[in-house]
Amino acid sequence: MLNVDAGGGDRLAMAVLAQYRMATTEQMHLIIAPEVRIEQTRRRLAKLRAERLVDRVTLPQAGRTRAWFVTRYGAQVVAEWPELRGWQPSKLVGDRTAREAAGGPRADRDEDRDRLPAGCAPPR
């Protein structure tokens, strides 16, 4: 089983990203844990990334601003939670944002295909 904390912090972070599709580190911090130091939010997101539940892109021309999103694998996990019953990854044009911001990952390789945002088809 995944090491997603039962206390809800990881679960909340995943739910926020699933519903908002993308959020910067600072936005995530303000939503999920504004009372703690931002380093704690960064560590939480890094842990989720290590488990391949979320990934990030560095936005062009925004310094080192990172935008986070759930991976396909993360979307599968979130879709099984009772509180998000019926949630489906969006298949709107806007889902290309992460792929384009990252410079278009090569989704012809299996490891990159899993890292695309939920609902995002590989480039053709």
pLDDT over 90 at 10, yes or no:
yes
**CATH 1.10.3720.10 describes domain 9-113:** no
Q: Note the pLDDT tens digit of each residue in 60-95.
A: 877 889 999 999 999 989 988 988 887 777 664 334
Contacts of residue 22, Cβ cutoff 8 Å, sequence gap at least 6? 67, 68, 69, 97, 98, 117
Task: Give the integer Cα–Cα distance in Å for 59 and 57.
Answer: 6
Domain boundaries, the chain: 9-113
Q: Which of these, 92, 118, 19, lies nearest to 27 by C-alpha position? A: 19
pTM: 0.68
pLDDT, residue 102, reads 54
Check: CB of residue 70 under 8 Å from CB of residue 18: yes
Task: Give the integer Cα–Cα distance in Å for 102 and 108.
Answer: 15
pLDDT, residue 70, reads 93
